[in-house]
Structure formats: structure tokens, C-alpha cells
């Protein structure tokens, strides 16, 4: 590869980086707005509920791995969610000494409310887009997420397991 071609790739990466940072900021603002649903969990804890709803009960360590975070962080967040009645601890049928975390009915209801609110917001945001452009965006984001996970060496990506969070 020539130095010019390499520089062109870096220039394109810079343009993409600028737009990704802008997207992340706007999505963070939207996430804060959408997390104001009455009865909702702290928006940083919501991925826990979504993962448990979409993938089923799991141990704290497996949840931490799925969410690419530390066990201590998940432990603290799940304790709060248990106190709020959004998730519960269940005996692990494979190991009586361990417990699994699972969403409660209230947690599932909250997940659905948040998902519906997010979907209404996205539909309103994209209402003037051509259907083909929306499909193309979905395909490109899916591809980007797969490549990001691969490049990060992510052993597990819950979004690739049918998560609709």
C-alpha cells in the first residue's frame, strides 16, 4: 500500500470518527431523554435488564462478560435492580451453591415500555427516510458492530444473539 493510499484511509477514518463521536453524543442525549420513563431503572443498568430478558437468566460473571464490564460493577448494579424489584436471584439448577439473575415481571414490563418508547422515537427520527435507506443503514450498522466486536476481541456480543434492546 502506498503512503498516499494509507493517508487516504486515515482521512476517511478521521471523517468517520468525527461522525461517530457526534452520533454517540446525540444517542447519549436521546438515552437520557428516553430513560425518563416512570419506574425506569438507571439508564446504565438497563442493559442488564435487556440482556436478561433477551438471553435468559445468567450468573453475574456471565452477565459481566456479555456486557463487557467488571463483575464488581455488575454486582453493584444488580443489587440495586433486585432492591427495585426489576430482577431477582434464582437458584442455579446446575449448581446449588450459585445463583442466577433473572428479570421479574416488572423488569420485563419496564423493558417492553422502554423498547416501545425507543421504537417510537426512532420511527419519528427516520420518518422522512426512504425504506431502502433505512434497510441499508441497518445492514451497515450490523456489519460495523460485528467488525467492532471482532476487532475488540469480544468473545460474546449479546446484540448478535437476537437482542432487541
Count of helices and strands (H, E) across the chain: 6, 2
Please give the pLDDT value at position 86: 94
Please give the pLDDT value at position 156: 47
CB-based contact 63:48 (threshold 8 Å): yes
* One domain for residues 26 and 55: no
The set of residues, in sequence order, having a beta carbon less than 8 Å from that of 62 and lying 6+ positions away, is none
165 residues of the chain, pLDDT tens digit each:
788 778 889 999 999 999 999 999 998 888 777 765 555 556 677 899 999 999 999 999 999 998 889 999 999 999 999 999 999 999 988 887 889 999 999 999 999 988 898 899 999 999 999 999 999 999 999 999 899 888 888 654 544 444 455
* One domain for residues 60 and 8: no
Please give the pLDDT value at position 61: 93
In the chain, the DSSP E strands lie at 87-92, 95-103
* One domain for residues 65 and 135: yes
CB-based contact 101:88 (threshold 8 Å): yes
* One domain for residues 17 and 72: no
Please give the pLDDT value at position 97: 82
* One domain for residues 50 and 30: no
Please give the pLDDT value at position 159: 47
* One domain for residues 64 and 111: yes
Please give the pLDDT value at position 87: 96
Structural domain that includes position 21: 1-34
- Closest to 63 in 3D by CA, of 103, 97, 115: 103
Q: How many domains does the chain have?
A: 2
Amino acid at each position: 500500500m502506498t503512503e498516499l493510499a494509507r493517508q487516504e484511509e486515515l482521512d476517511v477514518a478521521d471523517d468517520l470518527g468525527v461522525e461517530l463521536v457526534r452520533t454517540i453524543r446525540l444517542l447519549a442525549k436521546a438515552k437520557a431523554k428516553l430513560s425518563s420513563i416512570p419506574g425506569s431503572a438507571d439508564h446504565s443498568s438497563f442493559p442488564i435488564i435487556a440482556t436478561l430478558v433477551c438471553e435468559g437468566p445468567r450468573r453475574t460473571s456471565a452477565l459481566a462478560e456479555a456486557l463487557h464490564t467488571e463483575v464488581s460493577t455488575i454486582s453493584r448494579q444488580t443489587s440495586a435492580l433486585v432492591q427495585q424489584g426489576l430482577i431477582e436471584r434464582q437458584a442455579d439448577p446446575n449448581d446449588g451453591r450459585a445463583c442466577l439473575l433473572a428479570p421479574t415481571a416488572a423488569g420485563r414490563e419496564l423493558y417492553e415500555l422502554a423498547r416501545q418508547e425507543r421504537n417510537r422515537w426512532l420511527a419519528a427520527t427516520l420518518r422522512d427516510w426512504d425504506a431502502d435507506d433505512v434497510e441499508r443503514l441497518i445492514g451497515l450498522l450490523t456489519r460495523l458492530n460485528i467488525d467492532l466486536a471482532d476487532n475488540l476481541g469480544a468473545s460474546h456480543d449479546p446484540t448478535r444473539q437476537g437482542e432487541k434492546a
